[in-house]
């Protein structure tokens, strides 16, 4: 395992467009970057058994999740020629239509940025221990199952 610092990826509540824009803007000084790829995860107002999802409440055991994210990060960095990688995931309540996941990869060339971002999102969805409680309009809830 690398000696790199474990980075906090969690943000309370939704991820704002201003935060995303600022993150992108900060990379204009990194002139070795030729490409970025971005994935934005948004809460859907799914209709389940006739009830609409109004929000998702995200929870995690942070220490375990951050260690797992560190492992995922190291795997992706070892596989792709990236300049940098940023991942932010919401905790707490995120309403339908708001952003809950921001994944941002940068590389000298587009193929590495695109492929790394796609694989990173799949690993996060499959392996990161973050749980979502779907909150319905009628104030009932169920635990989200990733499909």
Give CA–CA dist 108/31, Å, rounded: 9
* pLDDT recorded at residue 44: 95
Q: What is the pLDDT of residue 48?
A: 86
pLDDT exceeds cutoff 70 at 2: no
Residue 3 has pLDDT above 70, yes or no: no
User: pLDDT-derived band of residue 135, with 50, 70 and 90 as boundaries?
Assistant: very high
Pairwise CA distance, residues 95 & 140, whole Å: 15
Q: Is residue 127 part of a domain?
A: yes
Between the alpha carbon of residue 138 and those of residues 48, 64, 73, the distances in Å are 12, 33, 39
Q: What CATH number does the domain containing 133 carry? A: 3.90.1170.40
- List the alpha helices (DSSP H) in 80-145: 110-127
What is the number of domains present in the chain?
1
Q: Which positions ≥6 away from 72 have C-beta within 8 Å?
A: 120, 123, 124, 127, 128
Tell me, rounded to whole angstroms, the distance of Cα 3 from its chain centroid: 23
Q: Give me the chain's average pLDDT, please.
A: 94
The DSSP line for 48-98 is ETTEEEEEEEEEE-HHHHHHHHHHHHHHHHHHS--SEEEEEEEEEEEETTS
What six digits make up the tokens of 34? Answer: 């030729």
Tally the residues of the chain: 147
For residue 15, the 8-state DSSP code is B
pLDDT-based confidence at 144, cuts 50/70/90?
confident
Does residue 5 form part of some domain? no
Q: What are the b/e assignments for 43-61, b being 16+ CB within 10 Å? A: beeeeeeeeebbbbbbebe
Question: Is residue 113 a part of any domain in this protein?
Answer: yes
pLDDT confidence of residue 6? 80
Q: Is residue 34, in this structure, part of any structural domain at all? A: yes
- 1: in domain: no
Contact 101, 88 (CB under 8 A): yes
List, for residues 31-82, the tens digit of each pLDDT value.
999 999 999 999 999 988 889 999 999 999 999 999 999 999 999 999 999 9
pLDDT at 86 over 80: yes
Tell me which residue range forms the domain holding 98. Answer: 10-143
Is 107 a domain residue? yes
Has residue 3 been placed in a domain?
Answer: no
Residue 27 lies in a domain: yes
What's the mean pLDDT in 109-133? 97
Confidence of residue 1 (pLDDT cuts 50, 70, 90): very low
Spatial separation of the C-alpha atoms in residues 35 and 107, rounded to whole Å: 6
């Amino acid at each position: 395992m690398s000696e790199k610092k474990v980075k906090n990826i969690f943000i309370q509540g939704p991820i704002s467009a201003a935060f995303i824009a600022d993150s992108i803007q900060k990379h204009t000084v990194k002139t070795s970057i030729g490409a970025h790829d971005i994935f934005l995860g948004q809460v859907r107002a799914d209709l389940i058994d006739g009830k609409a999802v109004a929000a998702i409440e995200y929870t995690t055991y942070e220490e375990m999740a951050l260690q797992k994210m560190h492992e995922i990060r190291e795997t992706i960095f070892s596989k792709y020629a990236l300049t940098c990688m940023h991942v932010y995931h919401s905790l707490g309540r995120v309403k339908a239509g708001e952003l809950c996941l921001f994944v941002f990869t940068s590389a000298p060339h587009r193929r590495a940025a695109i492929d790394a971002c796609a694989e990173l999102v799949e690993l996060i969805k499959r392996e990161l221990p973050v749980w979502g409680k779907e909150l319905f309009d009628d104030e009932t809830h169920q635990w989200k199952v990733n499909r």
